[in-house]
Each structure stands twice: as structure tokens, then as C-alpha cells.
Amino acid sequence: MIFDVQRFCTHDGPGIRTVVFLKGCSMRCQWCSNPESQKSKPEILFDAGLCLACRACLNPRFGGAMQELEGKIQPDRSKPVPEGLSKVCPSLALRVAGRLAAPRALVNEVCKDSAFFVRSGGGVTFSGGEPLEQAGYVLQCSRLFQQRGVSVAIETSLAVEPRALELLLGSPIEWLVDVKHVVPQKFRRQTGGSLEQVLTNIRRVSKASDRVTYRIPVIPGFNDCASEREGLLEFLSSLERASGGPIRLELLPYHDLAAGKYVQLNRPNPFNRKPLPEAVVETWKLEAETRGFVVNRGG
């Protein structure tokens, strides 16, 4: 299940890339910028402001996935999202996140830009959601991509069963690994995940692959204070790594661009904060560089 394919992405691995967003993630990070990526089933995004009340979506063939309650057209999220609903809305007030894409079809779609990949050193990036939740699918696609000379990157939080990771460790993959926190309670409270599992996986991938970039989402009130920063950087420094080169680190400062999506999903936004001051991000960068890391700003 994927929910988007974005061409010409330049901050998700080397070169010019197409990013495939997979749907479904076990974590519930409060600052998640793709809330439509979390659940593993298709979901309706509904922007009431664009709705012209044409009622095309209320057609019985859609099984009541959209309903009219007290004069307002809105999704009935208890119903499954039927085939064809995504194309019915003329004003795009209603969109559906989540579709199945056969590996071969996906590869063909992505390879439209292969000329740009070759010249820029780019390729395809699996993102999410959590791509390793669909490790089998990713593996299948990756093999097809590699047959066509397209390099593969994976953006992952590694909050998955170790065997999902093992499935992919044998493939030549560019790993973009999230490192969010080093304190288990805080990690669980704000992401819903198990830090122990994540850290074990990070250690595993660092040891097994020499193509790892670590990515720290710098989140206000979660991991942006000095001790948390030091803890994270120290954790990275202490990693046993297959790569002999310097640690490649990307900082992803929190942004609040996802607020609209929460509204369209009819979900409360658990984390509506102001973006970080530039100085904070600069400090992170300097501190990391002092440790000999190669630091980029992403996001």
C-alpha cells in the first residue's frame, strides 16, 4: 500500500530522486508530518472548504464512505474506502490516501525519470510511513529497480521487527536512518515506539552497511535541549560502524506544515508548535561538526 509517488525530490538521499511513500507505521510520533501515512488502510482526506456539495460522492455505489450529516458532507470513517472514490470529486475536496501498486507498475512509473537519476547520482527512495513494515514488497521492488540500474534508498525509523530489517540488509541500499532519542520513556511517550528495538536495529544496520546516513528530527520540547543533543550525538559517536568514513548526519528541524492534513483527516493535531529558532539548528550543526560528523540540513 502506497500513498504517494513524488518526482524530483532532492533532499531524500543523493541526487535527484523519486520518493515512494508507503502507508502504515507502528509509531505515532506526535509531530508526524505525514499523518495520512500512519494507518495501513486507505483513508479519506477531506477538505470541506473545497466541497461544492455536488453529492457525487454520496452515490450508493460508494457504500456510504461519504455521508451527509446535519447538512454537512463528510467521511464516515467507520466504512471501508471503496474503489473509484478517489476519482469522483471534481473539486478535489475529497482525496484518498492509499492505493495498491504492483511492483512492476511502480518500477515503470518511477523509471520515467531514470535519465535524471543516472546523471545526478540519484534513484528511488522508499519512505513512509514505515517502509520496513512492507519489507517484502520493498525487497521485491528493490530487486526490480536494481535490475534496471536504479539505486535504492530507504528512509526508516527502524521501529520494526529485526527480521524485517534482515530481509533487506543483503541488498545494496542507501540507508537513511532516523535517530530520535536515547531515553526510552520519553521516546515511548511521544512516539509510541520501543526505543530498545530501534537502537538495536540502528546498531545492526550500522555494523552491516557502509552506506548509512543518520537523520535526527530536531523537535521542540522532545529532543532539542542540550543534554538530549549531547546524548544523541554521543550515541552516534559510539556506534560500531561498517563505514570507515565520517558519520553522515542530516538534521531535520521540525516544521508545522502538516496542520492542514490533520484537519482533513478529522484528527486532532497532537503537536501544534512553532518551528525552532534558526540558532538552535545552527548549534546542533556546530556541535555535530565538532565531533567530525559531516552535517547537512534536510527536510
Partner 1 sequence: MNGRLTRAKDTLLSTPATLCPERARIYTRVYRDNEPLPVLRRRSLALKQTLQEMTIYIEAEELVVGNTASRPKAAAIFPEYAVGWLENELEQINLRAAEAYQASREVKEEVKHLLSYWKGKTLQEHAHALLSPELEELLATKIIKAEGNMTSGDGHVAVNLRRLLEEGIGGYLARVKAALAALKPTSFADLKKRQLYLAMQDGLDGLCSYCNRYADLAASQAASALPERALELTVVEQTCRAIAIMPPQGFREALQLCVFVQMALQIESNGHSVSLGRLDNYLGPFYDRDLEAGRIDRTTALELLCCTWIKLTSVRKVRSASHTRTSGGGPLYQNVTIGGVDGGGNDATNAMSFLILDSVGEMKLTQPNLTVRYHAGLGGEFMAKCLEVLAKGFGMPAFNNDQIIVPGLLRLGVSPTDARDYAAIGCVEVAVPGKWGYRTTGMSFLNLMRVLLVTLNDGCDPSTGKIFLAGTRSLNTFADFGALMQAWKTQVQYYARATVAIDVAVDTALEDLVPDVLCSALTDDCIATGKHLKQGGAVYDWVSGLQVGIANLGNSLAALKKLVFEDKVIGKQVLLDALASDFAGSQGELLRLRLLNGAPKFGNDDDEVDQLLVQAYGYFIDEIERLPNTRFGRGPVGGGYYPGTSSISSNVPSGSEVGATPDGRHAGTPLAEGCSPSSGTDLLGPTAVFQSVAKLPTARILGGVLLNQKLSPKSVENPADMLKLEALIRTFFDDLKGWHVQYNIVSRETLLAAQKDPEGYRDLVVRVAGYSAFFRDLARDTQDDIISRTEHRL
Residues that bind partner 1 (CB under 8 A): 6-8, 10, 15-16, 52, 54, 87, 90-92, 112-113, 115-116, 118-122, 296
- DSSP symbol at 43: E
Q: Is 226 left (phi over 0), alpha (psi -120 to 50) or beta?
A: alpha
Cα(164)–Cα(200) distance, integer angstroms: 13
H helix runs in 63-214, sequence order = 103-110, 114-120, 135-147, 162-169, 184-191, 195-208
Question: Smallest distance from the beta carbon of 139 to partner 1, in angstroms?
Answer: 26
- Cβ-based nearer residue to partner 1, 109 or 161: 109
Round to the nearest angstrom and report the end-to-end CA distance of the chain: 24
Cα(228)–Cα(233) distance, integer angstroms: 9
- Cβ-based nearer residue to partner 1, 15 or 220: 15
- Cβ-based nearer residue to partner 1, 16 or 141: 16
DSSP annotation string for 13-36: SSSSEEEEEEP--S---TT-S-GG
- Cβ-based nearer residue to partner 1, 184 or 299: 299
- Taking the CA atoms of residue 277, residue 280, residue 282 and residue 288 in that order, the dihedral angle to the nearest 10 degrees is -150
Question: Smallest distance from the beta carbon of 56 to partner 1, in angstroms?
Answer: 9
Question: Smallest distance from the beta carbon of 181 to partner 1, in angstroms?
Answer: 28
- Cβ-based nearer residue to partner 1, 111 or 239: 111
Question: Smallest distance from the beta carbon of 12 to partner 1, in angstroms?
Answer: 12
Question: Smallest distance from the beta carbon of 84 to partner 1, in angstroms?
Answer: 12
